[in-house]
Chain A
Amino acid sequence: MQPKPFILKVLDIVSIIVLAVAAYLALVFAPTEAVMGQVQRVFYFHIGTAWVGLLGFVIAAVAGVTYLITKNARWDRFEVAAVEVSTVFFFITIVLGSIWARPAWNTWWTWDPRLTTAAITELIYIAYFMLRQGIEDPEKRARFGAVYTLLGGISAPITFMVIRLFRTIHPVVIGSQSAAAQGGFSMTSDMKVAFFFSLFAFTVIFIDLMWHRIRLGSLEDKVEQLKLKVSM
């Protein structure tokens, strides 16, 4: 077995440190928001996890297309890693959003475009794992997975556009605000520090986890090959 690369070890430690710092900035350093109070602090992690979640889905679609062109199993491992890590982060985003929505909107859930799209996107990637599970041949599994991430990656934005035809109440903190949005606020400079640091922190953590998952994937393949060799 190949030893864990040195850079990965460093990245592990860096991930833990940036997570701790991001938590400090979000929970202590950033000023309390005037209207919503303490619960607004969820926002920093909410955006951080949402950002890496979406990033991973885009990476997965690109890796899927690359796999279909090159037929190199490495891209399949890349794609699985991205989807798996992102699905978890995206789920955290939804949970954190719900926690915030309860005091801010007075409900855990509402059928708002962003929320609905998030739920459907999450379901697309859960379906992706069910699809992969149902196929034994690794080559076929990779091909079907790649096709499905591509379909999902294109369908999700259209879903968002369609549901936007209905009214939205989700606040837009960066950029223009919809008139019906509830719970919006403008960031002070200290808030911005916490905000951008949490984006950075989750990007580092995302890369670290992706790397681990890719490494796990290639080890899995190796075990699979060894098993085949023994059985022959």
Chain B
Amino acid sequence: MSLAHILDSKKIRFSAVFALFLIFSYLQAPAQATHENAPHQLEDTTFTNQVESDAHVPGTEHPEGEGEHEPFDATTVIMEHIADSHSWHLWGHTSIGLPVILYTDKGVETFSSSQFHHGEQPYQGKYYTYGLVEDKIYVLDANGQIDKVASANIYDFSITKNIAAIFLSIALLLIIFTSVASAYKKRVGKAPKGLQSFIEPIILFVRDEIARPNIGNHYAKFMPLLLTLFFFIWINNLLGLIPIFPGGANVTGNIFMTFVLSFIVLLAVNLNANKYYWKHIFTPDVPWWLYPIMIPVELIGVISRPFALMIRLYANISAGHIIVLSLIALIFIFKSIALAPVSVAFVLFMDVLELLVAFLQAFIFTMLTALFIGTAVDEHHH
């Protein structure tokens, strides 16, 4: 394979050189800037102080609301963006307040998260005073400090941003697939058309490339689970790539979401497992004196396979988001709007890559689920 022809075009060659020049000149610029600002050491010293004070003081300012003179903490901003939240940020200082549902030892409390005013104010509930610290709800005592003892008794059942995004994706999936299903009812025995012809190859892909080769004869029973997993993960990966409302929630990059999905896989695998699977775990084909080693290893294997699924999806999607956000953060780190074209170009490249990863991770998750189910329902004893 030769890529030399790409450089044949003068225009492309010129823009490649120009892009490299831009990158180096921008990398150069902040270096010079720090030299010039060398006497003003204020920024550098306050930077660490600020981070430390952020960690201690509850209800610090939202980093996006920081003025130009204040230092920019990329890690906090990025982690905030990929984390779950009690409000859904729209633009600037505008957010949608989401319902907060708290199960306390004294009863259930419900109120809107906008009562916290982006975590700046505590909320006086029926039973306790609540505060939002790092987007987690704690009980505050009379001095406005976290009351750890009381906080241990409240359980947060709020409809968070990710939960709302899950509901949204479920609504989307239901709309898409019921309309596709009705298309099948209307056009019995005919060739697919419209959305149906887009979805059908994917369904067939899941059936013929994922379920059938890995599970074998019993594949039909697991098709609903595999299809639901595949489309749920895929659509949430895609919605996560949209930076603005109603996208922007990092559902599949949330380890609790991937935990739920992989736990369902764990149940699906082990509840459908046949005697050969259990025999393989408890009486493996090894001398009996190896059993003390083999049985724990096999039992760990039961857990570790879904565990790997959980980590893989979470890490892949989170990593993609972190890279995109880091590239955007470069603009703020270098404090130069001139860096924007470079950032945007790299973000565009990453987004296109993430489109592929969105599909790939949905495929891998479903594929491995099918593989695990396949080993559990395999009729032949090895």
A binds B: no
Q: B interface vs A, CB < 8 Å?
A: none
